[in-house]
Amino acid sequence: MDHDEERKDKIVSMETRAGLGLRVAAELRAYWDGVRGNRLVPPRSEINPRGIERALEFSFVLERVAPGMGRFRLAGMHLNDLMGMEVRGMPLTAFFTTTARKAVADASEAAFREPAIVEAELVSEAGAGRPVLSARLLLLPLRSDLGDVTRALGCLVAEGPVCRVPRRFEIKAIRIHPLTHDTVHLADSDHGFAMAPRPQYAGFAEEKATFEGAHSPEERRALFRVISGK
């Protein structure tokens, strides 16, 4: 391959990479919406990796282990490449600078508590051997087997050469979209996002009231009782 052909291949590769974050996030959101149906939040048990094969490399499942702290239960290879190691068991905030971690912790907590969809545009500043790297983060809340919202399906997609690792990000923009009984209200309407209304269904009001009245996993677990038969 001559120099011109190699250069063309690199240009095509860069053009293909551009917009990857939006495409992956859109595919993951569409899958989550399909599983969700008319429910407020879908259960983790219904998430099938085969349904997100093209996004799997960039996807993860997060578990809320404490207020403002979510740890990776599963993570795609792209996240491992960004960190330069296996990220399973690490907190989400490990991908962020110290100045950005509070905002990320607050946003992830909103995903569980509201519940809400969280979108963020990220940037990793240039440094020695590290060119500027842009990225996109998406968090989609999930129910655990106990029925509490302590899981999240998400993706983290970086666009550009990773080069030296680990890469840590600052937040350019972050949007929180609380899930409600009839629509997804936007926390920041200036960005012009529009999301389709959701029809109500029997039992929705009771489900929403449970979420609003019992915020922590401990409070939600207290709503369950074990019935044993002889």
Worst-scoring range by mean pLDDT, 16-20, 64-68, 69-73, 76-80?
Answer: 16-20
Distance from chain centroid for Cα 78: 14
Backbone angles phi, psi at 177, to 5 degrees: -115, 90
pLDDT in tens, 12-50: 333 345 589 999 999 999 999 999 999 999 999 999 999
Residue 229 lies in a domain: no
Among 67, 24, 79, which Cα is nearest to 217's? 67
Cα separation of 220 and 214, whole Å? 6
pLDDT in tens, 102-155: 999 999 999 999 999 999 999 998 877 778 899 999 999 999 999 999 999 999
Domain range for 170:
3-221
Model pLDDT, residue 211? 40
Residue 199 lies in a domain: yes
Model pLDDT, residue 203? 40
Residue 173 lies in a domain: yes
pTM of the model: 0.73
3-state secondary structure of 86: coil
Tally the domains of the chain. Answer: 1
Residue 227 lies in a domain: no
Read off the pLDDT band of 165 (50, 70, 90).
Answer: confident
Checking DSSP bridges between strand 59-66 and strand 116-124, what pairing results, if any? Answer: unpaired
| The residue to which tokens 């029997």 are assigned | 202
Contact between residue 40 and residue 207 where contact means Cβ atoms under 8 Å apart: yes
Output the domain CATH number for residue 128.
3.30.450.20
Model pLDDT, residue 183? 42
Count helices and strands in the chain by DSSP H and E runs: 6, 6
Percentage of the chain modeled with pLDDT above 90: 63
Residue 228 lies in a domain: no
